[in-house]
Amino acid sequence: MLDFLSLAFVVAVKVFKKTTPNGKVTVYLGKRDFIDHVDYCDPVDGVVVVDTEYLKGRKVYSQLVTTYRFGREEDEVMGVKFSKELVIGQDQVVPMVNAKMELTPVQEKLLKKLGPNAFPFTFTFPEMSPSSVTLQPSDEDQGKPMGVDYCVRTYVADNEDDKGHKRSSVTLAIKKLQHAPASRGRRLPSSLVSKGFTFSNGKISLEVTLDKEIYYHGEKVAANIIVSNNSRKSVRNIRCMVVQHVEITMINSQFSRHVASLESREGCPVTPGASLSKTFYLVPLARSNKDIRGVALDGHLKEDDVNLASSTLVSEGKCPADAIGIVVSYSVRVKLNCGTLGGELVTDVPFKLLHPAEGSVERQRFNAMKKMQSIERHRYENSLYANEEEDNIVFEDFARLRMNEPE
């Protein structure tokens, strides 16, 4: 019985790999998603396997590269570029410079399995580095979409200043994401506004309260609305929306997109002296906004691996205005239609939309949902490497899993 149970709980660790066109260099990564925990960020740890006879005195270098595209590629004319590429980490992998490098569990397992021609590398993201974000293009847009993306680039060259040849270079697209803190907090975001009218006594008051400050992707956003009409006007209808606010810091551009909306006439009109209490439920999803240009998405590597971009978080003591890259925030916007002459009464209540924290029950539920949607996409965290006796590693070709690969 014990043998059966031990077999049932053996977990195969999935490792992503990609090989250069000439087949001489292969790069292995334990995961594609690296989490920014605000106070620290997961390191980019991998292993390079190289045919040492092919090098003939040359060296193997690896780079952590970020590309910030803030304009359309088809608009680049007369040498004007709307993208910036920055190497934020570089290391000589073969021959090893730092023989005393501290290895992560996944590197130890890979080095043990792949043999003497395997060499580790590790990169760390700089503080305040932006998260991976992609702005959804329209059907007419050509070229690479706007956004921030990361990749690990490995190449063979005589020195680090050489770019290397395509046949001996390989690029793996990765993502830098932010997750929610372990606790959602107890604060309930709310807003209270009122509107008066010219040549008319009294006001219409609107109070909006959310049931949480932090929502996870796929959760319902519940907005409790209380309307008190102490004026002579009537409220014709109520519209509730989830608004995604996007700021492109490079060009100081800001815009908003409605990612979920609902309009209701139930209980309307709210006549003078009357009041109305109602709860709206909205679910902001990326698949419901596929046709809207400019919607910010988590930098995705595959069509079924897509969410709305998470809210941008900054560490304690830092100003949100100091965030760089593409800054994303969300709010619930409620509009009361007070008639042609009365105009509208509008208020916004901000909230955060994030992935569940690692190790939480919500995270386990979120992962289970993702596995049901795409059973072949298993996400394993470093905890899977904790058992030193297990040696079940499944290698999966990285080339099939990336969507837009930097050249």
Q: Does one domain contain both 265 and 340?
A: yes
Chain segment 96-114, per-residue pLDDT in tens = 887 778 888 888 999 999 8
Q: Does one domain contain both 62 and 137?
A: yes
Residue carrying the six token digits 């395997």: 118
Element holding 227 (H helix, E strand): strand 221-229
Chain segment 46-82, per-residue pLDDT in tens = 999 998 888 888 999 999 999 998 887 777 777 788 8
Angle at the Cα of 20 (from 15 to 21), degrees rounded to 5?
130
Cα distances (Å, whole numbers) of residue 146 to 149, 173, 295, 297, 334: 9, 15, 11, 11, 30
Q: Does one domain contain both 85 and 205?
A: no
What is the token pair recorded at 213? Answer: 């400050």
344 vs 379, which has greater pLDDT? Answer: 344
Q: Does one domain contain both 193 and 134?
A: no
pLDDT at 298: 86
Neighbours of 180 (CB within 10 A): 23
CATH code where residue 196 lies: 2.60.40.640
Mean pLDDT of 388-397: 56
**Length reported for the chain:** 407
Q: Does one domain contain both 336 and 264?
A: yes
Backbone angles phi, psi at 110, to 5 degrees: -70, -40
Residues 6+ apart with CB under 8 A from 232: 197, 200, 201, 202, 272
> Does residue 301 form part of some domain?
yes
pLDDT at 27: 93
> Does residue 388 form part of some domain?
no
Distance CA 155, CA 173 (A): 15
> Does residue 229 form part of some domain?
yes
> Does residue 321 form part of some domain?
yes
Q: Which residue, of 177, 199, 222, is where some domain finishes?
A: 177
pLDDT at 10: 45
Domain that holds residue 141: 11-177
pTM of this structure = 0.81
Q: Give the mean pLDDT of the chain.
A: 82
Q: Report helix, strand or coil for 286.
A: helix
> Does residue 205 form part of some domain?
yes
Chain segment 270-297, per-residue pLDDT in tens = 999 999 999 999 999 988 888 888 899 9
